[in-house]
Structure 1
Amino acid sequence: MSYLLQALTLLIQVAFSFAIGLFVIRVLAEACRAEFQNPLSQLIYRYTNPVVTPIRRWVPNWKRVNLAAVLVAWLLSTLSRGLQQGLLGGRLPAPLGLVVLGTADLIDFTLVFYVAMIFGWTLSSLFGGDRRHPAARLLGQLIEPLLRPWRGRLAFGGIDFSPTVVMLALLVARILVVGPLRALGYDMGG
């Protein structure tokens, strides 16, 4: 593969990951009922609303999950996969394979994103970060639903191992869920 294609693929991955990240954070923030007055929440809503609002007319929320934002993130993930496959492989996979690969990529992105958030939260607590900062408050509200069931149950010698256990569970889910989905997508894609 030429160096120009590698650079273009990297730029595609970064641009699409940033956009997908915005919509994933929006879905997670709404599902976790994160503080809306947080400046970061306001920023995310401001940049995602023009895309999500028209789609919400046809795709309603399911419980606390904004399905319109999930749909946009999935479409971006599928488009990113299609562009990368088209640039790297020279051809697109079959449409059904592309749909499955886009789904696998979105699930993988979300799981890795959660691992990164929990890891960042844990590091900031080790170094005494300011918990009142808008980013720290939003981060805490996003990861709390995953950590809450394990808090206190996995504490030994004054150290809470719940973040480690949750990160390990997310990485295992990545292997057991995303791996087979990707294999299925490649099989269906030809």
Structure 2
Amino acid sequence: MSALSSSLVFLIQTLGGLYIMAVLLRFLLQLVKADFYNPISQAIVKVTSPLLNPLRKVIPGMGGLDLASLTLALILQILLVYVLFMVQGFSAAAIPLPQVLIVSLKELVNELLNIYMFSLIVIAIASWVAPGSYNPGLMLLHQLTEPLSSRIRKVIPPLGGLDFSLMVLVLVIITLKNFVAAL
């Protein structure tokens, strides 16, 4: 692979991955009913609405789940996989759709786990550096991770002022990431 094509692959992968992450974040923030008026939530809504709103007319939500967001993330991931293969010199017809679908689903699950993993790491570092401070980003991360953290706190309550729920969640996420990678 030439330097130009590897640079193009990196650029496409990065930009495509960031947009897919924004779509997944929009799904997750709606799922946990995060603050819609948070400036970061508003930015995510503005970035994802052009592609998501037309899809919502065709794919309705079900049971509080925004299926249009998940569908858009899957479609974008499939397109990203095809584009990356074509940039590397493969023909689109040579790549079977079932394999692309499996790779795309694996990538989406991995991205969801990464979102939670990095959210937990940022929360842990922020609790050491600036405990009790207000930041719109940290507020969203807390709203995103609190439903999972609170379930773990029911089983393992804070001991001596130390909350081990974040550590347990990180261990669970690492285990899930290893499981998905082994599939």
Is the pair's TM-score, using the shorter chain for normalization, greater than 0.5? yes
171, 174, 179: which is aligned to 1:168? 171
CA shift, 1:50, in A, is 2.1
**Contact 1:131 1:137 survives alignment (8 Å):** no
Question: Counterparts of 2:24 and 2:15 in 1: how far apart (Å)?
Answer: 14
Structure 1 equivalent of residue 21 of structure 2:
21
Q: Find the residue that maps to 1:159 and give its secondary structure.
A: coil
Question: Counterparts of 1:62 and 1:132 in 2: how far apart (Å)?
Answer: 34
Question: Counterparts of 1:150 and 1:109 in 2: how far apart (Å)?
Answer: 22
157, 162, 177: which is aligned to 1:159? 162
Question: Counterparts of 1:89 and 1:173 in 2: how far apart (Å)?
Answer: 33
- Unpaired segments of 5 or more residues in structure 2? none
Question: Counterparts of 2:58 and 2:181 in 1: how far apart (Å)?
Answer: 29
**Contact 1:52 1:69 survives alignment (8 Å):** yes
Q: Find the residue that maps to 2:75 and give its secondary structure.
A: helix
CA shift, 1:35, in A, is 0.8
Question: Counterparts of 1:62 and 1:119 in 2: how far apart (Å)?
Answer: 32
Question: Counterparts of 1:41 and 1:84 in 2: how far apart (Å)?
Answer: 29
Question: Counterparts of 1:131 and 1:63 in 2: how far apart (Å)?
Answer: 35
Structure 2 equivalent of residue 61 of structure 1:
61
The answer to whether 1:133 aligns with 2:135 is yes
Q: What aligned pairs does 1:12-91 form with structure 2 within 5 A after superposition?
A: 12-88=12-88, 90-91=90-91
**Aligned-pair Cα RMSD in Å:** 1.8
Question: Counterparts of 2:172 and 2:105 in 1: how far apart (Å)?
Answer: 20
Moved more, 79-88 or 110-119: 79-88
- Percent identity at matched positions? 27
1:128-166 superposed Cα distances (whole Å, 9 cap, x missing partner): 156422111111101111111112615344322211110
Question: Counterparts of 1:155 and 1:91 in 2: how far apart (Å)?
Answer: 55
Structure 2 equivalent of residue 186 of structure 1:
none
Q: Find the residue that maps to 2:88 and give its secondary structure.
A: helix
Question: Counterparts of 1:163 and 1:105 in 2: how far apart (Å)?
Answer: 23
Question: Counterparts of 1:129 and 1:16 in 2: how far apart (Å)?
Answer: 34
* Greater relative contact order structure (CA < 8 Å, 6+ sep): 1
Structure 2 equivalent of residue 113 of structure 1:
115
Q: Find the residue that maps to 1:143 and give its secondary structure.
A: helix
Moved more, 82-91 or 41-50: 82-91
**Contact 1:60 1:66 survives alignment (8 Å):** yes
104, 107, 113: which is aligned to 2:106? 104
Change in CA separation of 1:39 and 1:178 when aligned onto 2, cut-off 3 Å? same
